[in-house]
Chains A and B, each alone.
Chain A
Amino acid sequence: MSQMTQDLSRLYPEIVVLITAAGALVFEMLRMPRAALAWALAGLALATGLTLPLLGMNVDVFGGTLRIDTLSLWAKLILLPATMLSLLLARAELAGSDREGTVYSLLCFVTFGALILAGSGDTMFLVLGVLLSSLGSLALVAYPRNDAATEAAMKFFVFASVTGGVMIFGLTYWFGATGSTLLSSLGRLEAFPLAAAIGLVAVMTGLGYKAALAPFHFWAPDAYVGAPISIAGYLSVVPKIAAIFALAQVMRDLSPSTGWALIIAGLAALSMVWGYLAALAQENVIRLLAYSSIAQAGYFLLGIVAIGVSPLALPSLVMFAAAYAAMNLGAFAIVQRTGFSLESFAGMGRATPIRGAAMTLFLLSLVGIPPLAGFAGKFLLFGAAMDAGFTWLALLAIVNSVLALAAYLRIIVPMYKPPAAHNKSFFHLDASPHLITLVWSVSVIVTLGLGIAGQWVLSAIQ
């Protein structure tokens, strides 16, 4: 078997996702949105299945430009199912709307970009991944074609193009210094501290925007509020995790002398604290969850500072990514069913106890209360950061959990108050409640399962 064929065989999941995206578009052109949905779900399930036999592999393909390693494989195992759940949520929200099938196609395209990003071994693949996922995301945000969505997409677009431009500009310094676009050649940067610093800032800007890290987060709350709720949930999970994993891919090869770990730690501190402080002031649940996802991005960085230093770094990133995907999508699903103002949550926990309990579970998991998935992930992240000598960051992250609890209790507290008089119906947003219930039920199972039986993920990583 030639090198090319062998490499291609390792990329079957990516190839299947690409074909799925194109096929969904064809079904939309035939005016068969339901077929597009079924096709997309089947394609993503197939891609997930094709990933499983690759687990444990650690190779480069196409001359080192793409990596098949723990991060990229687990990105597939987490992001593909997350996209499938998002497809169901999108169906529940947007069924019957004009151009419905394009949403399914675009979701697959964005996920394709996210997978490229999470496995990139080359700076140009970073750029490609960011652009691929940004273009599709823009169209998804603008999908409702009303003023809010258009404004949100516009802000999103300006942010995407500026940060993308900065990233490409800065990366040319790395290319100039090392003579290669491969991440594996970043070790040569030690001789060029200035070029290393400029490139580092550029990468942080480009990926920080994608992961909605403070201070590159300003687009996120507006974009999430303007977009359909299902799209907001998707954007808060899939591109974010991909960008975090890409950041890990870059930092793996960067020498510690560039001081990147301290910069990442600073960004982590800023994101965590700022995200929850801002969340405390929100009246719109989507905005609250948007700021919460900014803070959670900061928590992810605790794993990145330990890359190459602590054996806990990779398990912590993967575990928290899986946990975050489940609990955040679950929370967004319930918001989609209940309504996006805090008032619509009043009394929800009493009127529909199971849904209320599920929402409480997701939010407590986001805080990091044991024995839920969020705790398993954060616990490993704290351990990784301490192991890497960033005890102060772990301490800050831990103390910050109190702000997190205060922010999420803003949703939990009204849920168990008697319902407000003007808010009699809880069922005003349900196009197809069963799909939404299915999504959050899956999320509940994963959130509980990862918390109690996280060993399954841990031993698969080893």
Chain B
Amino acid sequence: MLPIVSITLFLPVLGALLVMALRRAPATVVHGIGILTSTLVLLGTLWMWARGIEPGTFSQVEQIDWMPTLGASYRVGIDGISLPLVLLTAVLFLLTFIFSAKVKERPHAYVVLMLLLETAAIGTFTALDALLFYVFFEVSLVSMYFMIAGWGHEDRQRAALMFFLYTLLGSLPLLLAILGLYLGSDQPTFDMRAWIANPPLSGSAAMLALIAMLFTFAVKTPVFPLHTWLPAAHVQAPAAGSVLLAGVMLKFGAYGLIRFALQMTPDAFREIGMVVLVFGVFSALYGAFAALAQSDLKRMVAYTSVNHMGYIVAGVAIAALATDPAIRAVALDGSVLQMVSHGLVTGALFFLVGMLDDRAHTREMDRFGGLMKFVPFLGWSFILAAFASLGLPGLAHFPAEFQIFLATLREAPAALIVILGIAITAGLYLRAIGKVFFGEARTEWAGMPDLNRREVLTLAPLLLLIIVIGIAPAWLLGMIHQTTTSLQF
């Protein structure tokens, strides 16, 4: 059978090599290669989807020996938790390449870095070997560092430096935890499937490994108080960088929380599930309040990410605490769906803020007013995405958050205070929409052009998916549910 996971995984590397080989090619050709490669990647992931997954195990596993003396192999495969994220990654990268076709500054390096990031992202979600996972996890940092440092806004050097140091510090404890799990397993192996089937550590060793992993994934997700790198990185990153950072890279944290922390040290997680829940709830509320205090649109969207990712952390904690498998499945279904929804919705919002920034060279809410008169398509797109972000029924976040809250109600009703976050986000988005798109029209923006073809191509698929998932989430939930009901721990 064709190793479609590996082909999809390494297609971007091939594209990157091609771009490097064509050093004299004009920008259009380079961007064309980027778009073509990511289209092929999307087709590859759709093929994976068509092949389907089996419940209770990893499907389409491809494996070759890498360092047999250590028990490390190249192992990739998918299940109902990773496949939706792989699909999300492929969609977001394709749209980001379309959006970035305007980049004229060093296009070769830009496309190469994006393609490397795409391989790193798909690799992180499909790796079934802990060492391989770590490799992809770290490579993504390097690519993102250079994207922020090379194509960001005014204060990009400092922000990129902070991002790199902070997230490297964040990811290193994971290495310790992986080593701990490796040294603890009976057979020396880095096979994640073996670790999931038979958690190698127990007692205080498992607790230490869990704490190390929680630290790593809390930085990445991010969870209060380890979120401080996020606003800085987002504000300085180019719009495409922000989309990928929020849409894809934050998911590494949430995905790792399930794949590593929950599945490999389940008992320890159950023990401190309450603590994680409190952090998740607090983080969600904190993110909402902090977003409320922002006047810069990009910063505001960045903080709403903290809010939305907080729901995911809370959902995973509920899944750890739940003794009833049905509740656990509901909580995890909601959490995984929330990752996809957040990727789509926040991706759309960052694109839109980037488009506004391209036109006005400012992101200060107070500088705008009445834009709906000049840029109605941009305005309505923003309103749709914002409504999705605040959890309006019928749009992508609703089915996800609903399930998380449902499980919370059954398991830890006090934590439902987190719903307050929805009210706050509703308030802040309405305020932003009112300030930017309604009210008195300012003449200085009178000539602002509405969405061009490239931008419509970028946004339309996202908005469509947001509506589809909102109205009919079953096709996605079914895939997720197949795996979450059969998890054993």
Q: Is B175 an interface position by the 8 A CB rule?
A: yes
- How long is the Cα–Cα vector from A401 to B135 in the complex, in angstroms? 16
Q: In the complex, which of the residues B135, B169, B176, B183 contacts A402, with contact meaning CB atoms closer than 8 Å?
A: B169
User: Are B161 and A379 touching (Cβ within 8 A)?
Assistant: no
Q: Known: A382-B179, A398-B173, A454-B67. Contact between A364 and B142, CB under 8 A?
A: yes
Task: For B136, give the chain A residue with the smallest CB separation.
Answer: A370
Q: Is B69 an interface position by the 8 A CB rule?
A: yes
- How long is the Cα–Cα vector from A313 to B334 in the complex, in angstroms? 45
Q: Measured between C-beta atoms, what is the minimum distance from B163 to chain A in Å?
A: 11
User: Are A462 and B69 touching (Cβ within 8 A)?
Assistant: yes
User: Are B165 and A370 touching (Cβ within 8 A)?
Assistant: no
User: Are A413 and B168 touching (Cβ within 8 A)?
Assistant: no
B 138-181 to A, binary, CB cutoff 8 A, 1 in contact else 0: 11011000100110000001000100110011001101100110
Q: Which residues of A contact B180 (CB under 8 A)?
A: 386
Q: Which residues of A contact B173 (CB under 8 A)?
A: 398
Q: Known: A364-B142, A369-B138. Contact between A379 and B168, CB under 8 A?
A: no
In the complex, chain A residues 60-83 whose Cβ is within 8 Å of any chain B Cβ: none
User: Are B109 and A353 touching (Cβ within 8 A)?
Assistant: yes
Q: Measured between C-beta atoms, what is the minimum distance from A350 to chain B in Å?
A: 8
User: Are B135 and A386 touching (Cβ within 8 A)?
Assistant: no
User: Are B150 and A416 touching (Cβ within 8 A)?
Assistant: yes
Name the prevailing secondary structure of the A interface residues: helix
Q: In the complex, which of the residues A383, A391, A402 contacts B165, with contact meaning CB atoms closer than 8 Å?
A: A402
Q: Is A277 an interface position by the 8 A CB rule?
A: no
Q: In the complex, which of the residues A315, A370, A383, A455 contacts B179, with contact meaning CB atoms closer than 8 Å?
A: A383
Q: Is B405 an interface position by the 8 A CB rule?
A: no
User: Are A405 and B172 touching (Cβ within 8 A)?
Assistant: no
Name, among A350, A367, A370, A459, the residue most crowded by chain B CB atoms within 10 Å (CB to CB): A370
User: Are A458 and B69 touching (Cβ within 8 A)?
Assistant: yes
User: Are B139 and A405 touching (Cβ within 8 A)?
Assistant: no
- How long is the Cα–Cα vector from A401 to B165 in the complex, in angstroms? 9
Q: Is B182 an interface position by the 8 A CB rule?
A: yes
Name the prevailing secondary structure of the B interface residues: helix
- How long is the Cα–Cα vector from A356 to B403 in the complex, in angstroms? 50
- How long is the Cα–Cα vector from A417 to B160 in the complex, in angstroms? 13
Q: Measured between C-beta atoms, what is the minimum distance from B248 to chain A in Å?
A: 19
In the complex, chain A residues 417-439 whose Cβ is within 8 Å of any chain B Cβ: 417
In the complex, chain B residues 45-82 whose Cβ is within 8 Å of any chain A Cβ: 65-70
Q: Known: A370-B139, A401-B172, A455-B67. Contact between A387 and B165, CB under 8 A?
A: no
Q: Is B438 an interface position by the 8 A CB rule?
A: no
Q: Measured between C-beta atoms, what is the minimum distance from A373 to chain B in Å?
A: 13
Task: For A400, give the chain B residue with the smallest CB separation.
Answer: B172
Name, among A398, A406, A454, the residue most crowded by chain B CB atoms within 10 Å (CB to CB): A398
Q: Is B402 an interface position by the 8 A CB rule?
A: no
A 387-424 to B, binary, CB cutoff 8 A, 1 in contact else 0: 10001001100110110011001000100110000000
Extra 14 A-B pairs, beta carbons < 8 Å, given A375-B135, A386-B183, A455-B65 = A367-B168, A369-B138, A370-B135, A370-B138, A382-B176, A383-B179, A386-B180, A398-B172, A402-B168, A402-B169, A416-B146, A417-B157, A458-B67, A459-B68
Residues of A near any B CB (own CB < 8 A): 315, 350, 353, 364, 367, 369-371, 375, 379, 382-383, 386-387, 391, 394-395, 398-399, 401-402, 405-406, 409, 413, 416-417, 454-455, 458-459, 462
